[in-house]
Each structure stands twice: as structure tokens, then as C-alpha cells.
């Protein structure tokens, strides 16, 4: 992980903490802290999928997280954003 990109407002202790490789249990806890019925991401999978399938997918998810911490380039699709226009009229016609 490139430590030069961390905010100047962080202490050295904060920087070290952010760069420590997480454990499988920490990844699981972070994932399970997301509401199961949260909005589905661009990949089509909501948190409930990860909660239900954790026993099957945990090694792959953990591998992906550790690759990020080792500095492996993130595929463009992982950082994609979907923008939706939401009409502000009571009864939109188009």
C-alpha cells in the first residue's frame, strides 16, 4: 500500500493501523456489519448474498481484500458507479 497517499491529518499511528493486513475475521465482521437488505452494488450482489454464502466465498473475498492491501491493481469494474436520475415530480410521465 502506498503510504504517501494517506491524508496529512493522520498520525503515524493512524497510518500504521490503516496499512495493517486485516484478518479473515475482521473482513467477516466488516462485511456482516452491512445491513443485509442494503442496496445492491453494480455487481448485482447485495450484502445478503455475501452473508448467506460466506462459508463458500470467504476465501475468495479474503484473497481479494489481501490483494488490495498488497497493492495489486483494482479492476476498473470494482470502482464503477451507477448514476440514476430520480424525478422530483409527484407523478412523472416520462
C-alpha count within 13 angstroms, C-beta hemisphere, residue 38: 15
Do 19 and 3 contact (CB within 8 A), yes or no?
Answer: yes
Spatial distance between the Cα atoms of 7 and 32, rounded to a whole number of angstroms? 28
Instruction: Please tell me the least confidently modeled range out of 10-14, 48-52, 79-83.
Output: 79-83
Enumerate the domain spans of the chain: 22-72
Instruction: Say what the pLDDT of residue 41 is.
Output: 73
**CB count, 10 Å around CB of 7?**
8
Confidence band of 29 (pLDDT split at 50, 70, 90):
very high
Q: At residue 66, does pLDDT exceed 70?
A: yes
Confidence band of 5 (pLDDT split at 50, 70, 90):
low
Q: Region 4-14: what's the mean pLDDT?
A: 74
Instruction: Say what the pLDDT of residue 1 is.
Output: 52
Amino acid at each position: 500500500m502506498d503510504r504517501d497517499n494517506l491524508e496529512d491529518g493522520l498520525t503515524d499511528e493512524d497510518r500504521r493501523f490503516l496499512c495493517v493486513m486485516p484478518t479473515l475475521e475482521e473482513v467477516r465482521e466488516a462485511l456482516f456489519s452491512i445491513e443485509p437488505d442494503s442496496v445492491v452494488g453494480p455487481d448485482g450482489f447485495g450484502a445478503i448474498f455475501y452473508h448467506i454464502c460466506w462459508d463458500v466465498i470467504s476465501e475468495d473475498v479474503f484473497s481479494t481484500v489481501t490483494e488490495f492491501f498488497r497493492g495489486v491493481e483494482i479492476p476498473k469494474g470494482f470502482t464503477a458507479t451507477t448514476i440514476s436520475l430520480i424525478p422530483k415530480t409527484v407523478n412523472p410521465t416520462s
